[in-house]
Amino acid sequence: MASNDAMNSQLNQKAFLGLRVWVVIGISVFAFIMVILIIFSIWLMSRRKIGMTHRSISHSKIPDISKEITVDRIAGNNLAHHLQEREGLSVSNHDKCNEKDYITTLGNLVSKSSDADNLSQCSSVYHEKAGSSYSGDEGSSGATQRPHSPYAGLVSASPLVGLPEFSHLGWGHWFTLRDLEYATSRFSRENVIGEGGYGVVYRGRLINGTEIAVKKLLNNMGQAEKEFRVEVEAIGHVRHKNLVRLLGYCVEGIHRMLVYEYVNNGNLEQWLHGAMRQHGVLSWDSRMKVILGTTKALAYLHEGIEPKVVHRDIKSSNILLDNEFNCKVSDFGLAKLLGSGKSYLTTRVMGTFGYVAPEYANTGMLNEKSDVYSFGVLLLEAVTGRDPVDYGRPASEVNLVEWIKFMVGSRRSEEVVDPSLEIKPSSKSLKLALLAALKCVDPDSTKRPKMSQVVRLLEAEDYPLREDRKTRRIQTPTNLEISVTDSPTSA
C-alpha cells in the first residue's frame, strides 16, 4: 500500500508547465507513436513512387508489321462505324491488370523531352466539344498569295500547358479513354478526318483549347499494339518544325490511341487531287515550299538523329499543311529505326503502291534511300498534279516516273507542269525540281543523293547561276540532259 501511495504521489507531482508527471508521460508516448507512424507512411509512399517511376522491364524487339503494299484509301465512314461496333467501350479485367506493366515497358522506348511538356501531364476531364468538321479556311487567293515565312504559324507555348499531373512515359501526356471521348464528342463520326488500314483519325479539342488529332488504332490481332509501339519509338521524343508532333497517348484496355497536334489545312493529296481543290489551285511557290519542308524533315530523320528513322510511307496524303502552307510529315506507323552500325534492314515490304522503291519492293532490303525514292515520286506528283500510278491515262502515261523520263528525254519538260496552275514556274525552277526528282528516283539506290543534298539543290545552292553564263548543262542520273536557264521561256 505504501509503495502504491508513493508511486501515485510521484505521478501527481507537477513536472513541466504545471502538468503532472503522468500527463507528460502520456503525451510523450503518443507523440512517439505518431512520429513512428508518419515516418512509416512517408517510407511507404516513397517506395511506391520509386516503384512506379523506375521499374525496368526488358523490352523485346518490335515485330514486323504485316501489311502488304496497298493504296490505303477507304471511302466514307464505314471503318469508323466498324471500329465503334467492334471495340465498344468495355475494358476487360485482364487488360486492366496488365496496363501498368505495359506502360512501364513503353517507358524504355522513349527519352524525356523538354520541361515545357512536363508542366502538364496525365488525365483530366474535358467539358468542351470538338469544333466543326475538318476543312480549309481560305479560298484560292489564300492558296496562291499567302506569305511563305518558314517559321510562320509555329506556336511558342506548349500545347500541353494547363493539363494536370505527369506522364508515365516521361514525355507527352497520358490521356484516359474518358478524356478522349469528351475531346472528340465520344468519337463522333462528324469528327472523322481520316481513315485507312491502321484505324481512324478524329479531330478533338482539349480542355485548354488546343485542337488535337486522335489516331485510334484498329484492334486487329495485336496489330494496334505493334503500330503503337513503332510510332512511339520513332517520334515520341523527336521535335522538328516539319514533323507532326506527338503530344501523348492512351493505353486503356484494348484501346491504343495516339494524340497529335492538329494541322488545320488538309494534306497535299487533298490539295492536288481531292477536296481542298475547291479552295483554289495550290500555287507553284506553295508547292515548292511544301516540298522543301518535307525535304528538311527527311534530312533530319536520316541525318540529324541517332538512330536514324526510315519513314517507309512518304506520300502526299501524309504531308499535312497549316494555314501558311508549312508542311508537317505525319504517320510513322510503318517507320523503322536504323542504327549507325547497319547499312540496311531486311523486312517485309510495306508502303503505298507507286511510291515504293524498286529495290525494296524486290528484295525487302530497306534503308533511308527508300525514303529518298518515295520523296522523288512525291516531288514529281507536286510538279505535274498527277497520281504516281493512274490507270485512267494512256498506257505510256500510267507510271508517272517513266512518263517523266520520256518527256525530259524528248526535251518536252515544260509540258509536264500541272495544267491547272494559273502562274507557270520559271524554266530554272522547273528544271531544278525535275533534276532533284530524277536524281531521287534513280533505279540504282547508291546513286541517289542524301536528303541534305536535295535541300541544297532545291535552294539552288549547289548550282548557282551566273549572269554571264545563262545556261548550263546538267547530266541527270537517268542519262537525260536538262538545261537550267534564267529565262522563263522553254529550253
- Mean pLDDT check: name the lowest of 122-131, 162-171, 481-490: 122-131
Residue 467, all three cell numbers: 549572269
Fold of 78-264: Phosphorylase Kinase; domain 1 (3.30.200)
| pLDDT at res. 54 | 45
| pLDDT at res. 43 | 83
Helix axes 400-409, 427-440, angle to 10 degrees: 130
**Alpha-carbon gap, residue 313 to 68, rounded angstroms:** 12
Q: Active-site residue numbers?
A: 313
Bridge pairing between strands 173-174 and 246-252: parallel
**pLDDT tens string 162-174:** 554 545 555 567 8
**Alpha-carbon gap, residue 474 to 428, rounded angstroms:** 12
**Alpha-carbon gap, residue 68 to 351, rounded angstroms:** 7
The amino acid at 406: F
Percentage of residues of the chain with pLDDT beyond 90: 41
Residue 117, all three cell numbers: 511538356
| pLDDT at res. 403 | 97
- Grade residue 75 by pLDDT with cuts at 50, 70 and 90: very low
- Grade residue 159 by pLDDT with cuts at 50, 70 and 90: low
Residue 441, all three cell numbers: 528516283
CATH classification of 269-485, choosing from 3.40.228.10, 1.10.510.10, 1.10.390.10, 3.40.630.30?
Answer: 1.10.510.10
Coil, helix or strand at residue 350: coil
What strands lie across the sheet with 255-261, from one edge to the other?
Answer: 173-174, 246-252, 255-261, 211-217, 199-205, 192-196
- Positive or negative: CA dihedral 248, 274, 143, 133: negative
**pLDDT tens string 362-386:** 999 999 999 999 999 999 999 999 9
- Grade residue 304 by pLDDT with cuts at 50, 70 and 90: very high
Proportion of the chain in helix, strand, coil states, percent, rounded to 5: 40, 15, 45
| pLDDT at res. 223 | 67
Percentage of residues of the chain with pLDDT beyond 70: 63
Task: Please state the rounded mean pLDDT for residues 152-165.
Answer: 50
**Alpha-carbon gap, residue 96 to 88, rounded angstroms:** 16
Helix axes 368-384, 284-299, angle to 10 degrees: 180
- Every domain of the chain with CATH number 1.10.510.10 lies at 269-485
- Mean pLDDT check: name the lowest of 46-55, 86-95, 140-149, 410-419: 140-149
The amino acid at 291: I
- Whether 216 has a binding-site annotation, put simply, is yes
Mean pLDDT of the chain: 75
CA atoms within 13 A on the CB side of 192: 19
- Every domain of the chain with CATH number 3.30.200.20 lies at 78-264
Pick the residue with more confidence: 120 or 219?
219
